Amino acid sequence: MTTKGSRGHFVSLDPHPMAVSDEDSLRAVVDASGDHLVVDLFCGAGGLSLGLERAGGEVIVGIDHDEHAITTHRAHHKGLSESWDLYDSANVETIGRIVREHEVSIVCGGPPCQPFSRAGRGIIRSLVDRGVRGAVDQRRDLWQAFLEVVRVGRPAAVLMENVPDMAFDRGMVIIRSVIAELESWGYSVEAQILDASNYGVPQTRRRLFIIGLRDGVQPLWPEKSDRRTSLLDAIGDLPAFDGGWLHPGLDSDGGMSYGEASSAFQQLMREGCGSVVYDQVTRGVREDDRRAFASMEPGTKYSDLDDELKRYRDDIFQDKYNRLDPYAPSRTVTAHLSRDGYSYIHPIEDRTISVREAARIQSFPDAIRFHGPPTAAFKQIGNAVPVLLGEALGDAIFRALANPSPAEISVGGTTAMLADYFDARSSTEELSVGWLGAATTWQLSASIFLESEVNAKGQRIVWELLRRQPGPEDTLKMSDTLTRIGRQLGIDEQIDELLSIAERAMQGEDLSSIVSSRVWDLVCTMSPDEEETLLPTAAMIRVAARFFGVPIETVSAGTTGRLLVARLIGGISSDRESAHAARGLYEVASGICTSSRPACNVCPLSTHCGSRSVPDEMMLDLSAG
């Protein structure tokens, strides 16, 4: 049912015929379902639910706190679709019990994950101790609630999704905590960043996914598609209009007639529909905006427009307007579409994209409608997991469950392997990089500060001095010796700067504010005594890429590279083990798994290394970037 309003048609959706409203009624739904049951937490409008159902799953529970979104989910899925507060431990316990009692196959969802640091956690503990706030940290406990459902329910598989930037704080605390917790419960865990455009979705959309399979089963990942779907392939059959929530082309129910499909993707989206498409609406277009849109081609920046066509400052809003490229996948569709569509100007028509076009870009079939006004529909669509990506993930998970094979090694296993290797090397003082044996934060800071200034021989000479200087006061006492050595090595200016750093540290300045961010980031990565940080060197990323059989040219140092290293040096349950694993990885990168001649026969990781699956010419050196 739809009703007209000043903001367009309000879509009111009836519940699915097999929707239920209480736990007792759920039993009949489960009895009528197959083997692959799914519980979707933070389900939104149900993009992931739809994808998993296309792969053979059957969603019996969907939970979200957005009333419009959960009404949309309830309209398209049987079972319980409820707005339950997952801050409430009673609700978490109920969902966990449902998962356990009904032997649910997959618990999935995308809990919000706000980045935070060890310092932030310390402040929270202090506030709790003083009675200023409660013990629940609402930046954290939604992802912890997700894990608690898994702990109680023990599903066969776990699928967690999030925006990469939300989980990539300095210490990657959330990702590493999730992996560590799941592994402690017997799940084999892998994490990857996937781009939806590689799986038939007409959109470039990078998201982080974590897959965990119970009983040590090796996770599988979906195979990439051979062909990308362009925006024109996705929406080229939808009827043209000039914009507006209530434009003349709509019938009384808000529908429009459309012609024949011209691509396989369009045919897929139209399955089960007749000749009428709904939600082909968007905001009205101001005449000055229409003139600006008409002057734009894909790639035109807002700052490129003639001055008379600009309504905003072009030094701040250089990309305020963006016309989409018809022959490439769309840019990432986000919930911001509910506020304005200037970043999503139609590739041919002089208007912003419609609700239905946004849904197509997210691979929602045309039969799926969204409860509420058009702005609520845009928000639901922008927050969703693309349906076809969900289907690809579901296919991979169900294949792994149907033909299980044991995982070779856990993240905790590689952590212990690297930490043990480092401990064995350091106990015999055989480290190729001497400062890795540093016992204090000062020794680490001073050594890393000087590392790039001298050659290997010089580094050994400097370290022999610094190893006897646990604190800045000790360094100042040996200033004459350091100055003399600095002249001999040609680093007298750097030694003077190091002595200046030591003086400032003695005066009470925090080292993190004195040394460069490059030095401090590596110090924190290697030290169990400082804020949890995981910002590895290019050489460490190179080793991780080789270990996981990933061509280095596909690795981004800031995201995928850090993720690969996190999978090697593990969780945060033991700061010391994680720091020693990081030092072990640095030692391997420096002395064994070098860019040109890796000595695989003595590498502690060689037994499980996947580098043999990647051609040698793909193993490029990351040192330049």
Cα(497)–Cα(495) distance, rounded to whole angstroms?
Answer: 5
Query: Do residues 159 and 209 lie in contact, with contact meaning Cβ atoms separated by under 8 Å?
Result: yes
CB atoms within 10 A of CB 131: 7
What Cα–Cα distance (Å) separates residue 579 from each residue in 64, 189, 191, 397, 447? 38, 21, 21, 33, 17
Helix or strand or coil: residue 574? coil
Q: Mind spelling out the 3-state secondary structure of 113-135?
A: CCCCCHHHHHHHHHHHHCCCCCC
Q: What angle do CA 88, 92, 96 make, to 5 degrees?
A: 170
Helix or strand or coil: residue 255? strand
Q: Which residues make beta-bridge pairs with 323?
A: 345
**Of the candidates 101, 75, 89, which has an alpha carbon nearest to the alpha carbon of residue 23?**
101
**Of the candidates 90, 80, 85, which has an alpha carbon nearest to the alpha carbon of residue 38?**
80
Query: Do residues 606 and 421 lie in contact, with contact meaning Cβ atoms separated by under 8 Å?
Result: no
Cα(538)–Cα(544) distance, rounded to whole angstroms?
Answer: 10
Burial class (CB in 10 A: 0-12, 13-18, 19+), 600: middle
DSSP state of 618: G
- DSSP string across 218-253: PP--PPPPSSPPPHHHHHTTSPP---BTT-TT--TT
Encoded tokens for 158: 């776990």
Q: What angle do CA 380, 383, 385 make, to 5 degrees?
A: 110
Q: Which residues make beta-bridge pairs with 195?
A: 206
108 is catalytic: no
* Backbone torsions φ then ψ of 277, nearest 5 degrees: -115, 145
Query: Do residues 153 and 99 lie in contact, with contact meaning Cβ atoms separated by under 8 Å?
Result: yes
Query: Per the residue annotation, which of 43, 108, 113, 603 is the catalytic one?
Result: 113
H or E segment to which residue 560 belongs = helix 560-569
* Proportion of the chain in helix, strand, coil states, percent, rounded to 5: 45, 10, 45
Query: Do residues 146 and 41 lie in contact, with contact meaning Cβ atoms separated by under 8 Å?
Result: yes
Encoded tokens for 606: 């060689």
Q: What angle do CA 528, 531, 532 make, to 5 degrees?
A: 70
Residues annotated as catalytic (active site), given as ranges: 113
